[in-house]
Each structure stands twice: as C-alpha cells, then as structure tokens.
Amino acid sequence: MKLFLVLWIMPIVLLGSWYGLSYYDINFGYRILTRDLHDLVFTIYGNLLGIPAETIPPLVLKAVIFDTFLVVGFIVIKRRRKQIWAALRGYFTSSVKEDGHTETVSAHHQADYSRPH
C-alpha cells in the first residue's frame, strides 16, 4: 500500500512543483522551470488536443481531484474490507422465522426503523 501511495503521489508532486515554479518563473537557472517553456509546453499540448492552452490546467486539476477520490476510496475499501463484506452478507442473506417464512435481514431492520418509538 505504501508503494502504491508513493507511486501515486510522486507524479502529482513533481507536476505541481513544476507548474508552480514555471508559472511564476522561479527557474533557479534551469530552462525547464522558465515561463517560456511553460507556455510552450501548454501550447504544444493544447494544439495536440485541439483545445486552448489555458483550459488544460483546470482539466489537470479536475483529474487530480478525481484520482484522489479514487485512491482514498481504495484505501477505505482496503481498511474496511471485512466490515463491508459483513454488511453485504447481512444484507443479502435471509433468516428463517419460527412460522417458516423467510424474511431478509434488511427488511427486518427496515421494519424496526419504521415503527415510532
């Protein structure tokens, strides 16, 4: 899991660092961090995609946010796997009542919640 998180966060950190430094032209003498190269990269990428260059950064931000939700979801599923399976098993299994009728566990619980207390 740690390797997965490292492999997920490293490109985001590198891209965010490059974007921030090159956007504000904080280049430390490196051409890759200049604003000219920043504009050139987004112009080329925009031409390849057929969209204006200024629409690319918001699209990348939306993709990073979506990926973050996916990764957090995977982590939650991994950590709560036993609870999720127990809840699903309880939802889909049935219990036999004394009179021989079968009733799903979820319907039984819904009946309890529908009564006023």
pLDDT tens track, the chain, 117 positions: 889 899 999 999 999 999 999 999 999 999 999 999 999 999 999 999 999 999 999 999 999 999 999 999 999 898 888 888 888 888 888 554 555 555 555 555 554 555 455
Q: Looking at residue 7, what is its pLDDT?
A: 93
Q: In terms of domains, do 102 and 112 share one?
A: yes
Q: In terms of domains, do 31 and 5 share one?
A: yes
Cβ contacts of 33 within 8 Å, gap of 6 or more: 18, 21, 22, 25, 26, 27
Q: What is the pTM of this model?
A: 0.68
Q: Could you tell me the residue range of the domain that residue 104 belongs to?
A: 81-117
Q: Is the torsion defined by CA of 84, 88, 93, 97 positive or negative?
A: positive
Q: In terms of domains, do 94 and 74 share one?
A: no
Q: Which of 13, 19, 48 is nearest to 35 (CA)?
A: 19
Q: In terms of domains, do 75 and 86 share one?
A: no
Overall domain count for the chain: 2
